[in-house]
Homo-oligomer: A and B are copies of this chain.
């Protein structure tokens, strides 16, 4: 080995992000504020708008891998039947949870004086739930298998597909016209992919994995196969128009009933290391200087409030038949928009259809909903939460 080789930058960045996220998470937890809030705040502090110690781009890859592994780990705790049995309720929750925010966001932004297309984009950015945050909180409470949790997970998958369709429509409107056939094809492919993997994945893996595992000579071959499936389904999901993390989730679900405990713990190691990068990464995206303009600040506050209320109301209404308590829980679980809302806003910005100001508003909304959601989840799920376990993923 030699000097110069493997300089201090990479370990320094790992130390700063991982260390700050974990320490601030610990601090907020002692203040009875969810751990996640501290980790996101660490990102805000390290980011360009405060200390400027970490560039968002430099941890992008680790953050993206982090949320992929988080959803994979969550998938490992879920059986396909868990999702199918709640399918009907989840569909209604997802649909109302898409329509209400879209209309509310559109109306508020139009009212503020923005153009039709820009308002549509802001509405679209308020549609997509970022299930990673909720999954992390529920896993930490040991509640991934609660009824409300299963509905949230299933609704998040459906929400992703609906979000795809909404974005396709809004982008088409912005570009000048809607191609219904193309839209229908896109929707059909993404639905077909998801349903196919859910139905066939678990059975195929159950048959193939033990055989492959036996034949392989390398160490940890079961983990190797799991990783290849994870990345392959993430790639296919992207090609099918769904988010890569939905593919990662489906890979976890497909493996859930077959894979050994050791693979759970090995994947947990990767998740533990990388999730702080995902959480801090959300905070890193926030430019607090945007909020100096009182008009932007007011609009951001309004849109954030609307983002929270619209999911609580929309998803809550969808879950109404299960009673008020469950409806509250499910609504709260769908609140975080996280990095997903930002991506929609980025697409709008790239198309030149939304202003820098609207982009700033969406980023604030995206970050703030991920900060508010864990607090709401703590309240609504608090009554059924068991003792937090050693691992933030429930079943060990």
Q: Chain A interface (Cβ within 8 Å of chain B)? A: 1-8, 10-12, 14-15, 18-19, 22, 25-26, 29-30, 35, 61-62, 64-65, 67-68, 127-131, 140, 156, 159-160, 163-164, 167-168, 216-220, 223-224, 227-228, 231-232, 234-235, 238-239, 241-248, 262, 265-270, 272-273, 339-341, 343-344, 346-347, 388-392
Contact = CB atoms under 8 A, between A and B. Distances in A.
Contact of A10 (B26, B65, B273): B65
A381 to B, nearest CB: 17
Given A64-B6, A243-B3, A218 B167 contact: no
21 contacts: A1-B156, A1-B340, A3-B163, A3-B168, A3-B243, A4-B343, A4-B344, A5-B343, A6-B68, A6-B243, A8-B234, A11-B231, A11-B244, A14-B234, A18-B228, A22-B218, A26-B218, A29-B217, A61-B61, A220-B272, A266-B272
A7 B238 contact: yes
Contact of A235 (B11, B227, B267, B268): B11
Contacts of A160: 1-2
Contact of A245 (B4, B6, B234, B262): B6
A216 B269 contact: no
Contacts of A392: 219-220
A4, A64, A346 pick with most chain B CB within 10 angstroms: A4
A67 B5 CA distance: 12
Nearest to A243: B1
Nearest to A131: B1
Contacts of A262: 265, 390
A2 B128 contact: yes
Contact of A344 (B2, B128, B245): B2
Contacts of A268: 220, 266, 269
A5 B243 contact: yes
A217 B390 contact: no
A155 to B, nearest CB: 11
A323 to B, nearest CB: 27
Nearest to A17: B231
Nearest to A232: B15
A140, A159, A224 pick with most chain B CB within 10 angstroms: A224
A243 B164 contact: no
Contacts of A343: 2, 4-5
Given A1-B131, A156-B1, A272-B223, A244 B19 contact: no
A11 B238 contact: yes
Contacts of A269: 223, 265-270
Nearest to A347: B4
A383 to B, nearest CB: 21
A257 to B, nearest CB: 20
A61 B65 CA distance: 13
A53 to B, nearest CB: 13
Nearest to A130: B1
A340 B5 contact: yes
A277 to B, nearest CB: 11
Contacts of A217: 26, 29-30, 35
A392 B12 CA distance: 28
Given A2-B164, A2-B343, 6 more contacts: A1-B243, A3-B163, A3-B168, A10-B65, A11-B68, A11-B248
